[in-house]
Amino acid sequence: MGESTAPTAFVPGHVTAFFGVHRAGDPYRTGSTGAGIVLEDGVEVTVDPGEPLSVTVNADAVEPGPVTAVLETLGVEGGVRARTRLPPGAGFGVSGALALGTALSANAVADEPRSSNELIRIAHRAEVEAGTGLGDVVAQARGGVPVRLEPGAPPHGVLDGVPATARVEYLSFGQLATAEVITGDTATLTDAGERALDRLQGRPTLPALFQAARAFAAEADLVTPRVAEAVDDVTAAGGEACMAMLGETVVALDSGLSDAGYDPSSCRIHPGGAAPGRFSSFQRER
């Protein structure tokens, strides 16, 4: 099936600012609480029905991870092609985007169409069971500045948000292994995440989110030296920055990284969630 007719979905990127891990026997009740920022820079995911199962990101073959389970659940056989300017494994939710984008695209050719919540459940479960993420899918489905009050997929997960928009900058120094952190001893981390969440709920603004994220990263002992230096440089220059969980990546409000002398990528907070169609469906001429 050609480029023009194969179903495609756009899933925005998501950086987690702080989080707590919540495991349950039920994968739909397993997930993370916390908060993050959804980015206009995201992932376009195309399913080519009838092709052999393979997953490519910018034409490079990658492990199928959660994609296999998503396609099986929907009863669709196909190849999955993703295009993105986000670096994989660096805390931008590319894995969640592959799962959710595959669900949205494959649904368009499935014999039995599903609702939005059903697709979120399928993608969330696949991420949890593949060990690639706990909260990106529900955040990417919502958009904006998602606050995950209760873990899990619909109808269990409960979301709120910080009602704000802004330009953001990001700079990645490398990958961190999500699975190693979220399957290890997470008690200290989760305590720190709950304190950060309480703080943000008391004042749901973007500066408060960054401040809570810095306190969390210090308490949870997750900051790498290069990230610590860049975050300190941004705050010393009067900006707001934090580490993206989990990647060796720094995110800053507005021109925070540029102002501190770095050469970051930039985009806006994406006000919407994942949706069928290309990114251009968010664009229009007035």
Contact positions toward a copy of itself, by CB under 8 A? Answer: 40, 104, 107, 113-119, 143-144, 147, 154-155, 158, 160-165, 201, 203-205, 267-268, 270-273, 275-277, 279, 281-284, 286
Q: How far apart are CA 172 and CA 242, in angstroms?
A: 12
Least distance CB 275 / a copy of itself (angstroms):
4
Measured in residues, the chain has a length of 286
Q: Which is nearer to a copy of itself, 159 or 228 (CB)?
A: 159
Least distance CB 183 / a copy of itself (angstroms):
31
Q: Which is nearer to a copy of itself, 61 or 280 (CB)?
A: 280
Whether the Cβ atoms of residue 141 and residue 100 lie closer than 8 Å to each other = yes
Q: Which is nearer to a copy of itself, 17 or 230 (CB)?
A: 17
Least distance CB 254 / a copy of itself (angstroms):
13
Q: Which is nearer to a copy of itself, 90 or 119 (CB)?
A: 119
In whole angstroms, what separates CA 135 from the centre of its chain?
7
Tokens at residue 185, please? 């001893």
In whole angstroms, what separates CA 283 from the centre of its chain?
22
Least distance CB 177 / a copy of itself (angstroms):
31
- Helices 206-219 and 187-202 pack at an angle, to 10 degrees, of 160
Strands 78-84 and 55-57: parallel
Q: Which is nearer to a copy of itself, 208 or 243 (CB)?
A: 208
Least distance CB 32 / a copy of itself (angstroms):
18
Least distance CB 140 / a copy of itself (angstroms):
12
Tokens at residue 101, please? 């984008």
Nearest CA among 7, 23, 38, 280 for reference residue 152 = 23
Neighbours of 166 (CB within 10 A): 12
Neighbours of 221 (CB within 10 A): 9
- In eight-state DSSP terms, residue 124 is H
Q: Which is nearer to a copy of itself, 89 or 193 (CB)?
A: 193
Whether the Cβ atoms of residue 248 and residue 267 lie closer than 8 Å to each other = no
Q: How far apart are CA 130 and CA 28, in angstroms?
A: 13
Least distance CB 84 / a copy of itself (angstroms):
12
Q: Which is nearer to a copy of itself, 160 or 191 (CB)?
A: 160
